[in-house]
Structures are given as C-alpha cells and as structure tokens.
Structure 1
Amino acid sequence: MGSEINRRNLVKRSAALGLVALPSAGLLSACASSGGDDNSSSNSSSATPTATSADNPLGVDPAKPLDVLIFKGGFGDDYAKRFEGLYSKKYPNAKVSHNATQNITGLLQPRLNGGTPPDVVDDSGNAQIKLDVLQKAGQLTDLTPLLDAPSLDDPSKKVRDTLMPGTVELGTIGGQFVTLQYVYTVFGLWYSNKLFKQHGWTAPKTWADFISLGGEIKKAGISPFAHQGKYPYYINVAIVDLAVKHGGIDWLTRLDNADETVWDDDAAKQAINAIYEIVSKNYLLPGTNGMTHIESQTAWNQYKAAFIPCGAWLENEQLKATPSDFEMTFMPMPSLPGDKLPFEAIRGGANEPFIVPKKAANVAGGLEFMRYMLSKSGATAFAQSANSLSVLKDGIGPDVQLRPGTKSTVTALTAAGTNVFNPTYLQAFSSLDVDMGNASSELMANRIKPDEWLKRTKAATVKAKKNA
C-alpha cells in the first residue's frame, strides 16, 4: 500500500506505509534550491537528449549508467533486481547500480540536497520523504511521457491504457503525474484460517459479530486483536475504512478534500467508537501498542492474536515467521449498522510510490525502467518475488502460483467488484495522517476517548488544508 498506503503510506508503508515527521526546513530549502523549474539546464539527460525511435520511444542513452534506490521492506528487493535484469538485457552497456535500504530519507535526502539523486527511487517506508513535500520543492519529474509511451507487450497501446483504474489519479500531485504507485494492494483484516477451523470460528461480516467473536476468542486464551502500535498508520486505515463504508463515497470525497466537517458526521463517530470498543473490552494483545509492525505481526503468526490489520504486503513480509500451515487469509473490515457500502467493499488500489527525481542524471533511463516494470515480464517477476500484485491489468498469467494470503486478496477483489475505494488525502495532506496517528496512539492506549480523538483529528484536518 507500505510503504504505505508508500507502502505504509496508505500504508506506506505504504508504507508500509509509515509515520515520520515532515522534513526539516533545511531540507525544504535545499530541495527548493536544487529542484527549481528549469529542467533543461540542470538535467543532463535533457541537455544531451538521445534521439527517439519506435524501439527507443523515451530516448534512452544505451550506455548511460542507471542508479536505482529501493526501499527494502515487506516486498524485499529481489523483485527490483529482476527489473534491473530486464533493463540490462535491453541495455547491456549500461551499468546498473542497485542500492536497497529501510532508511530512504537517510540516503535520498543528502543526494537531493547535493543535486545528485538516483535515477529511480522507491520512496517508501517509515523514513519516506513525503511526496507532497517533494512535489512542492520541485524535486519530481513529470512522468507523463511514460504514460504516453507504447507498452512493451503491445506497442499499439500506450502504457496508460494498460494500468488498473485509479493508478494515474493516485500518482497525480499538484496536477502532475509524478509518482508511479506500482503495487496494487488491498487493506483489511487478516486471520489464520487454520486457527479458525480448529476452534470452529467463522470470520465475522458485521462489527457486532466481530465483537461477539472477540469474546469467544478471549475465552480460548487468545487476544482478539493486535496492531502495529509504533506505527499507528495501520490503525488509521482501519478507522477510516470503517467510516468510508458507513458514510459512502461522498464522505470519502470530502475527506480527500480536507473537509474538516467529516469528523462531525455519524460515519466518523461510529467508526472511532467501534475501534475504541476493542480497547474498552480489553481485546488488545498485551504490549501491542508499543510493538513494531514486525513484532506484532510475528506475535500474530504465533497465534497470540486472532486478527491484525494490514495491507497485502503482509504475507511476503512475514514469510520467515509464518508457519507453513498457517493459511493466512484476508477479509474486509466488518460492517457497521447502516453502512452505505456493502461488507465486500474494500480499500484497494495503487501504492508503493516510485519516482524519478528531476535532477537525476538519467531521467530517460528512469522512465524506461518503469516501462519495464509495467510489462508482463515485470509484473510476473514482482508477483513471484514479492507475492503481490502490480497495477498492470491482466499482468499475471494463470500459470503463476500465488500463496494463500495473496490468493485470498484476489478473491476479495473479485467479490468487491466496483466497491473498491482508495483515499488520496494521504498523498495530498500527509501531515493529517501523522497527526491522526498521534491521536490514534493515545486512543489505543486508552489515554483519550473517541470524542477527543475526533476533536484532535478535526483540528489536524484544518491545519493540513491550511498548509497545503
């Protein structure tokens, strides 16, 4: 989604994705001075363009090095190495540099400030540099030429025509398509089907049944619910998704426009009261409020908790910790009374943001790298390496084997049909998610009540819109 939603920028991470303070004023000023609007004078690939052709529509210099920086989170980085292999096969004389990290800011910020950024970046994770901050600072290349380039699989189609719905919209910030949100992720609750079969439990479709089942789970000596307490982005997703399903798409549109009055609506009140019910009934796994995503998810894999909220990267992220017979299974958020969207409705869409910095030495190569990502070979490589789906429509053939959790997300997407939504406020108003997360941490620790959460989140929405 981390990032994530970034995969944790949701997720985010999306990231997962993730919660970090906005970059300092020093970074902002440095970004502004090194970004600028003059793309031709500062960008070496623009200064010495390579002629385009049917075989080279983006004008790639076949001998120019390509510098790749990848967030090594839930998806790992093996998939990126396979992308790089596809690029090298086409351009064998171009040296490809691969760098993977969980500290994107630590590696990317100094290079942005110095005017020597990588050519393509997976800007995700807990230490992501927020996309709206980069866009305002003039640091992002307009990726529209990628959209208008011919597809590698079918040159009669443009790349834009091969993408899942919403990909372009979610990658557009400030009126420009500046980020390729590459992973098609769904978000909801996860459980072990093995555990449920052992105890005769049925996955709940309503919140009332969820709470009732929680009592049965607790009697069995298992905590009903765990969450990634150190990264409250995850519980934010659960709260917002409950509210969207109750209030409908109109409510989501108002949220995405930073309309602070959404927090006065019944949808918001019911959602936050529902989540607080987990706290008030003592359904939380002890210690989960202080756990990282890996700690809480591993405890869940050890059957210490029945449910955990997460995006579809969970399966790949937990490969080493998941028992072979765990039967990881995804389900939508349960329904509240009076929901406008059905139980099957889920948050789903493009996330895990890839960017080409404006000052990159090989912008054309960065765009071409993304074109290979958006080929069937790239989509298959990603599915096999990262156990997740990409935004390429029909990108995976029937012969590609998927793990149980990924299969369950495909089933959920099919059941959802057109009832798939994906908030955009995470990209346009990133500070809102950070402030909301701070309030959510207090709520989950039972230090504030739902009314105070609504008050704080409403104030955060006003602030985010004012600073946009």
Structure 2
Amino acid sequence: MGSTGEGLGRRDLIKRSAALGLIAVPTMSFLSACASGGGDTSANGPDKGLVSKENPFGLAKGGKLDVVIFKGGFGDDYAKAWEAAFDKKWGTTSSHLGTQEIAAKLQPRFNGGNPPDVLNDSGAQMIKIDVLAKGNQLADLTPLLDAPSLDDPNKKIRDTLIAGTVQQGSQGGKFVALNYVYTVFGLWYSGKLFKEKGWTEPKTWDEFLAICAKAKEAGIGGLAHQGKYPYYINVVIMDLIAKKGGLEAMKAIDNLAPNAFEGNPDALAAVEAVYEVVEKGYLMPGTNGLTHTESQTAWNQYKAAFIPSGSWLENEQLKQTPDDFDMKFLPVPLLAGSKLPFTAIRAGANEAFVVPEKAANKAGGLEFLRTMLSREWSTVFAQQANSLTVVKDGVDPGVKLRPGTQSAVAAVKAAGADTFNYLYPDWYSEMDTEIQNASNELMAQRIQPKEWIKRAQAAVDKAAKDPSAKNNHRS
C-alpha cells in the first residue's frame, strides 16, 4: 500500500503476524551497554554529549529525564522497565508519573514553560495533539526519523516503521508525534459464550443483528458500548462507512470534502445500521450511561454479546476477564454492497508519544523515543501491555500471546493489504468531538440518522475553514 497511511504492505503484514505468534523475554543486553561517544561533555558544552552515530542527539551522561505516561489500557509497567534500562545505560535519573489526568496535570506545565521530556499524550483527558502543534509546543521529530536504528545502525529509524506511522503523527506537514502502538479496531466477543450458545461469528450486518436478537431472547444485550465515551461507538459507524464506501469514502472525510457525509448514501446506510440496533432494543440495558471500564466489565460478565474497542481492550480488562472467557476480535461485519471485504480492518499507529519543544532534556527525550523503536523495547511493550508496536518485526519470537492479542494478530494477517485508518481525529480534534457528540445523541434516540449526518457534515465544513487544513491532505 506504500506509505499513504491506508495500511501495510502485504509482505510486511504477513512477516509481522508470523513473528508475533510468540514473544520472548528480552535480555536488555544492549540497554545496559555504555554508549560510545556519550561520555565526553566537552565538545558541545557542559550539558551536551559528543554527537556520534551511537549518540545522534548529543545526550550527556547523567542528568535527569522527566517522563509522563498515560496509565490507561496499557498500564505503565512497560515504561518503568524502559526507564530503568535507560537510566542504567545513560546514568540518568528518571522521574515517572503514570496518570489518566493528562490535561489537568500537564496543561499548567506547558503553560508555565516546564513540560516533561517525554509525554505519552493519550486518553479521554489528553491534550489534543493538533492544539499543542498549533501552539508550537511540540518538538519536530524529523531528526528522530533520520537517526540510525539501534538494531541496525545502517538503517534510519524511518525505515523501521510500519507504513503510515509518519503521516499519522504529522501536523501541517511536520512530524511531531510518535504514535507507537499498532492498534486494531473492531468488535470483540467471548469465544466461550459463542460456543455455549452455538453462535457463529457473523460476517454480514444481517448476521450480526440475528445474533443480537438471539442474545436479547437469552436475556442479555446484543451490543454493549462505552456510552460516556462515544468515541467507541464511532469505531462501528466509521468502519461501516469505510467498508461500504471503500477507501475513497474514508479519504473524503479526512480531506474535509463537502459531500463527506451529506449526499453520501454509504454514510447514511452506516448510521442507519447502527441506529437499528438501538431501535430494536439490542443494546445492553444501561450501556449508554456507562464508562468504558463499566461497560467492558459487564461484557466480561456475559451481559452482552459484542463490544467495540481497540486492541488495548485485553490488557485493560485483564483483572476483570474470566480465565476461560476466550476473548476474540471480529472485523466490523459488512453491509450489503460493501466495497471492502469482511476481513478488512481499521488498523494503524495510535497512542502518541511527544517531546515538548521546551523540554529541559530534549536530547534525552529524543533518545528515549529512539530506544522505544528498538526491538528489545518493543518486545518489553508487547509483554507488559499485550499489544503490538509500529516497529516492523518488532517482537522476538518465544512466548505465546494472550487469546485476544492472538486473535488480533490473526485478523491482521487475514486482512493483508486491506487495512485502513482515519486521520481526522488527530488532524481535527474539534471535528472529532462534534461527531462523537452527535453519536451520543443518536444512541440515546434524541436524534435520527439524517440529523447525525447533518451534524457530522457541519463539523467537516467548520474544520475546512481552518487555515491549517490546507496542509493536511491524503491522496
């Protein structure tokens, strides 16, 4: 597929999926080695190390590194392991904050000119990346892309990344956010529940509705969703649009086309399909008023057949998931006349890591991100967070993955080149919020599908008036 952001090349996908069937415990060997050239601070002043191929950003030995991690679905144990290894290699002293209150805790620091050196900016309370970029608060990460890979110094970092990673993290043509996690989006179900009920994985929307009807007859919900965060139900709506209308329908939305929603029968069909679930009473009772973890926990208790989410779901629900639950991933089923196949999935780079422009140790932040893109640190993440990264072949073979992650890997392999990913949530956060708000109203039956379309198009038209929009375009 090239590097346009629609997805991976088939060869990369198959190689990556084969490698990810097993994971080994990393040795952390190179992380504990000394960096040649990093110890001489005389070349670039007292706060600089000697720039070399092994130390491309001139990081000095010693010093402090301030790291803030969103402690959500992936937890933050992986980051603590990273920090310990980084400190051992560079002699730094890392401070660590794991929190879900990103905006509350970090906005005052950005405003005060003392942001951290590395920030995992994610979650419902994140500071919007486009807002930070417009305020010139983020460092240009292009030097990171041009730095040598730790695994193969003859390769640049940019050549080790899955296609689409750079575009996903670019704002106005500048690369400012490393979206580190390779996330698969869709529906999820319990293999145990389906086996007990004799249900077969649905491939069409009619088959999906039929299982929802059977679930209702059995006294459980057909579909649970994270009602307080309509981001999740938009996974279903937007995937239906992309699969029915094809990649051109997706690109029209990202490119803010005047007919992205209004005048697009595929978009209306997608919204009407989701609304049918509401009208027929197939929603899990009360799901509209629940948080993500509340709905997901109810689903883990077999109170609903399906739930939408990204592939962080398994790790986020580790403590709530029964041992024999057998978590399974399901591509969003097809509407009649869809242009993409059932196996097509939304998959791509997510979970932004940034280095603030005013970071006290910018060299440390850049080197931290470079080391994140090594196979060893990628393996640490896969082990600790049960998710894939954007590093090609980024995990060592060895230990078996959990059922949900195995299922996601299988889906990636089955999709081949048929992967897609929207860019508008990163490029136009206000537009994304307005579409989410419309979905909240839709699921509560306060508006009808045609009104949803009208509101979504209004959000697109508003975003198109932003002067910076001209710098964001996908072909």
User: What SS is found at the alignment partner of 1:54?
Assistant: coil
* 1:372-391 alignment runs, 5 A limit: 372-391=371-390
Report which stretch shifted further, 103-112 or 83-92.
83-92
User: Partner residue of 1:434?
Assistant: 433
Q: Within the alignment, does 1:167 sit opposite 2:193 as a pair?
A: no
1:64–1:95 CA contact under 8 A, matched in 2:
yes
Which SS does the other structure have where 2:80 is aligned? helix
Matched residue count: 423
Distance in 2 separating the partners of 1:307 and 1:120: 36
Q: 1:255 — aligned with what? A: 253
Aligned twin of 1:311: 310
Give me the whole-angstrom Cα distance separating, in 1, the residues matched to 2:381 and 2:160: 16
Q: Report the residue type matching 2:193 in the other structure.
A: L
**Structure 1 residues 95-151: Cα deviation after superposition (integer angstroms, max 9, x where no partner):** 111011110011111110110100000000111010110000000000111111111
Q: Report the equivalent of 1:72.
A: 71
Q: CA deviation at 1:449?
A: 0.7
8 Å CA contact 1:260–1:459 kept in 2: the answer is no
**Given that residues 47 and 60 in structure 2 are in contact (C-alpha distance below 8 angstroms), is that contact kept between their aligned partners in structure 1?**
no
Q: Give the structure 1 partner of residue 209 of structure 2.
A: 211
> Could you tell me how far apart the structure 2 residues matched to 1:327 and 1:227 are?
19
- Per-residue displacement from partner, 1:275-321 (whole Å, max 9, x unpaired)? 00100110001110010000000000000000000000000000000
Counterpart CA distance in 2 for 1:275 and 1:170 is: 27
TM-score normalised to the size of structure 1? 0.89
**Residue 140 (structure 2) aligned to one of 139, 142, 161:** 142
Shift in Å at residue 255 of structure 1?
Answer: 0.7
- How far did residue 156 of structure 1 move? 1.0
Aligned CA distance change for structure 1 residues 104 and 47 (closer, same or farther; 3 Å): farther
Structure-1 residue corresponding to 2:8: none
* 1:39-90 per-position Cα deviation (integer Å, ceiling 9, x unaligned): xxxxxx9995433012211211111210000000000000111111221121
Q: Hey, what does 1:271 align to over in structure 2? A: 270
Partner of residue 115 from structure 1, selected from 103, 113, 130? 113
Identity across aligned pairs (percent)?
60
**Partner residue, 1:200:** 198
Quote the residue 1:14 is aligned against. Answer: none
Decide whether the 8 Å contact of 1:380 with 1:400 is kept in 2.
no
Equivalent residue, structure 2, for 1:23: none
CA 1:307/1:51 → structure 2, altered by over 3 Å: closer, same or farther?
same
Deviations 1:300-353 (A, max 9, x none): 000000000000000000000000000000010000111111000000000000
Letter of the structure 1 residue corresponding to residue 462 of structure 2:
K
Which amino acid is 1:89 matched to?
K
Alignment RMSD:
1.3
Residue 219 of structure 1: how far off its partner (Å) = 1.2
Unaligned runs of 5+ in 1: 1-44
Q: CA deviation at 1:441?
A: 0.7
Tell me what 1:448 maps to: 447
- The residue type equivalent to 2:318 in the other structure is L
Equivalence for 1:132? 130
Kept in 2, the 8 Å contact 1:148–1:158? The answer is yes
Distance across 2 between alignment mates of 1:307 and 1:133: 34
1:302 is aligned to 301
For the 8 Å contact 2:49–2:61, the answer to whether it is kept is no
Counterpart code for 1:364: A
8 Å contact 2:192–2:325 — kept in the other structure?
yes
1:270-419 → structure 2 map (5 Å cutoff): 270-419=269-418
Deviation above 2 Å: which 4+ runs of structure 1?
A: 45-51
1:394 Cα deviation after fit: 0.5
Contact 1:86 1:372 in 2 (8 A): no
Report the Cα distance in structure 1 between the residues aligned to 2:223 and 2:45, rounded to whole angstroms. Answer: 53
TM-score (norm 2): 0.87
Q: What letter is aligned with 2:256? A: A
* 8 Å Cα contact 2:180/2:389 also seen in 1: yes
Query: Within 2, Cα distance between the matches of 1:280 and 1:320?
Result: 33
Query: In the TM superposition, what whole-angstrom CA distance separates every residue of 1:196-249 from its partner, at most 9, and x where no partner exists?
Result: 000100010000111112111211111100000000011112101100011111
| Aligned amino acid, residue 242 of structure 1 | L
Q: What's the counterpart of residue 9 of structure 1?
A: none
The 1:46–1:256 alpha-carbon spacing in structure 2 relative to 1, beyond 3 Å, is farther
Q: Could you list the per-position Cα deviations for residues 388-434 of structure 1 after superposition, in whole angstroms to 9, with x for gaps in the alignment? A: 00111111122032100000000000000000001001111111111
Q: Which runs of 5+ in 2 are unaligned?
A: 1-43, 470-475
Provide the rounded CA distance (Å) in 1 between the counterparts of 2:135 and 2:422.
23
* CA distance in 2: counterparts of 1:116 and 1:89, whole angstroms: 25
CA contact (8 A) 1:231 1:293 kept: yes
1:231 is matched with: 229
Task: Give 2:49's aligned amino acid.
Answer: T
Work out whether residues 226 and 290 of structure 2, in 8 Å CA contact, stay in contact via their aligned partners in 1.
yes
Q: In the TM superposition, what is the alpha-carbon distance from 1:387 to its structure 2 partner? A: 0.4
Describe the superposition over 1:160-195 as per-residue Cα deviations: whole angstroms up to 9, x where unpaired. Answer: 111111111101111111000000000000000000
Distance 1:56 1:458 in 2: 48
Report the CA distance between 1:157 and its aligned residue: 0.8
> What SS is found at the alignment partner of 1:246?
helix
CA contact (8 A) 1:429 1:465 kept: no
